[in-house]
Structure 1
Amino acid sequence: MRLTLHTDYALRTMIYLGLHTDRLTSIHEIAQAYGISENHLVKIIHRLGRGGFIETSRGRKGGLRLGRPAEEIRLGDIVRYTEEDIGLVACMQPPPTDGSKSCLLVGGCFLRGVLDEALGNFMAVLDHYTLADALTEHERRLLGGQLFPAP
């Protein structure tokens, strides 16, 4: 399994916002911190905003912030929301719209079950952790920001 750059940048954005809860941040600031294209980041911010992961405010004094506390945001939820296609192989994707089968073995394939189990375990690990878990002293040192003690 390989996550897209879209998801990678979304996770990085969430970490950055999680470290800077004391103020609004800008797309420019996040892009500079990670060396990401601002144009690419705009699309990610828009999507994260639609998903309720972040709040955005426009205008001269506008900016970005987390949509809810970092302790309430599961990493698995971010990945599920930002990944267009999480299926490991074609038969795990939605069926083709032209009526054809994506695989001859659909319905009796042992491998599909194994891959589905592996994907389930992968997502279970991501669901075990929240954004707050990803806000470590290492990230704070590299990206600035504050760390707040766990409740």
Structure 2
Amino acid sequence: MRLTVFTDYSLRVLLVLASRTDALVTIADITEAFGISQAHLMKVTQALGKTGWVDTVRGRNGGMRLAADPRRLSLGEVVRRLEADFALVECLGEDNHCVLTGGCGLEVALRQATEVFLRELDRYSIADLVNTSPALAQLALWQPITWNTLPGSDNSRTGQRPN
């Protein structure tokens, strides 16, 4: 399975925003850090704003910040919401004309593999990824924060912002 460039860029934006909670981050900051197209990134940030995960502020001193709690926003949720198609082969898609459908184990195997993939992504929050991404500090001019574990959480990778 391969995620789209749109989802890839969206995940990068979420990681940067989760690591930078002290100020607004601009599109220019992110395009410079990652070397990606500003036009494409504008589409990404607009879509992230529509999900409610990101707040955007227009104007000269504008930028964006994470609106969602990164401890509760799972990687799986982001991927499910942003990826348009999980049909790895024709029989998993809406426009299925395969003559083997119903008599072949491939459909079941690939459907189960996709479910396992997404369940594994559900185990990681955006905060978890920030905590394990020292490269964020090297890319940017800020020191990423470290998220602590949520009280009562049975997932040791899920974090909580320090007080």
1:23 and 2:23 aligned: yes
Q: Secondary structure at the residue paired with 2:55?
A: strand
User: Larger % of helix: which?
Assistant: 1
Q: 1:122 to 1:137 in 2, by over 3 A?
A: closer
1:146 corresponds to 2:144: yes
In the alignment, is residue 116 of structure 1 matched against residue 111 of structure 2?
yes
How do 1:2-151 residues align onto structure 2 when only pairs under 5 Å count?
2-94=2-94, 96=95, 101-135=96-130, 136=132, 138-142=134-138, 143=140, 144-150=142-148, 151=160
Q: Distance in 1 between matches of 2:72 and 2:125?
A: 7
Equivalent position SS for 2:28: helix
SS in 1 for 2:31: helix
Q: 1:26 touches 1:63 (CA, 8 Å); kept in 2?
A: yes
> 1:3 and 1:70 mapped to 2: Cα distance?
21
Structure 2 alignment gaps of length 5 or more: 149-159
TM-score (structure 2 length as normaliser)? 0.83
Partner Cα distance (2:119, 2:13) in 1: 22
How far apart in 2 are the matches of 1:138 and 1:148? 10
Gaps of at least 5 residues in structure 1 are none
Asked whether the 8 Å contact 2:76–2:121 carries over to 1, the reply is yes
Aligned length: 146
8 A contact 2:91–2:97 mirrored in 1: yes
Displacement of 1:69 in angstroms is 1.4
Is the CA contact 1:91–1:102 (under 8 Å) kept in the aligned structure 2? yes
Please give the per-residue CA displacement for 1:18-52, whole angstroms capped at 9, x wherever unaligned. 11111111111111110011001011111111111
Q: Distance in 1 between matches of 2:102 and 2:143?
A: 51
Shift of 1:67: 1.7
Q: TM-score, normalised by structure 1?
A: 0.89
**Percentage identity across aligned positions?**
39
Higher relative contact order, chain-length normalized (CA < 8 Å, sep 6+) = 1
RMSD over aligned Cα, in angstroms?
1.5
Q: Give the deviation of 1:137 after TM superposition.
A: 5.2
Q: Is the 8 A contact 1:137 1:147 kept in 2?
A: no
Mapped partners of 1:126, 1:149: distance in 2: 18
SS at match of 1:70: coil
| Letter aligned with residue 48 of structure 2 | L
